[in-house]
Amino acid sequence: MSRAFINEDAGTGEAPRYPLPSREDPSFDLAAAEALLQGADAGDTASAESATGYYWGEPKLRPLVERILEEAREDGNERLEQLAERFIRVSDRQVRSAQSQGGSGMDRDVRDSGEIDEVLNPHRGEEQTRAREHTADILARRGVLLSGDESDEELADLWSAVDRFESLVEARGGDTMTNAPDSAEPDNPAFVLPERKARESAGDYTRRILEAAAALTNFEG
Question: What's the pTM?
Answer: 0.45
Predicted pLDDT at 221: 55
Q: Which of 52, 62, 63 is nearest to 90 (CA)?
A: 62
Residue 79 vs residues 28, 54, 86, 154, 216: alpha-carbon distances, Å:
23, 21, 11, 26, 17
Residues 6+ apart with CB under 8 A from 105: 98
- Do 83 and 52 meet the contact criterion of CB atoms below 8 Å apart? no
In order along its 221 residues, the chain shows pLDDT tens digits of: 444 444 444 444 444 467 788 888 899 999 999 999 988 888 778 888 888 888 888 999 999 999 999 999 999 898 899 899 989 888 888 777 777 665 444 444 443 433 333 333 344 456 567 777 878 888 888 888 898 888 888 888 888 888 888 888 888 877 766 666 666 677 788 888 899 999 999 999 999 999 998 888 876 65
Amino acid type, 32: A
- Do 4 and 29 meet the contact criterion of CB atoms below 8 Å apart? no
Cβ neighbour number for residue 206 with a 10 Å cutoff: 22
Predicted pLDDT at 158: 87
Cα 162–42–182 angle (5° rounding)? 10
- Do 100 and 112 meet the contact criterion of CB atoms below 8 Å apart? no
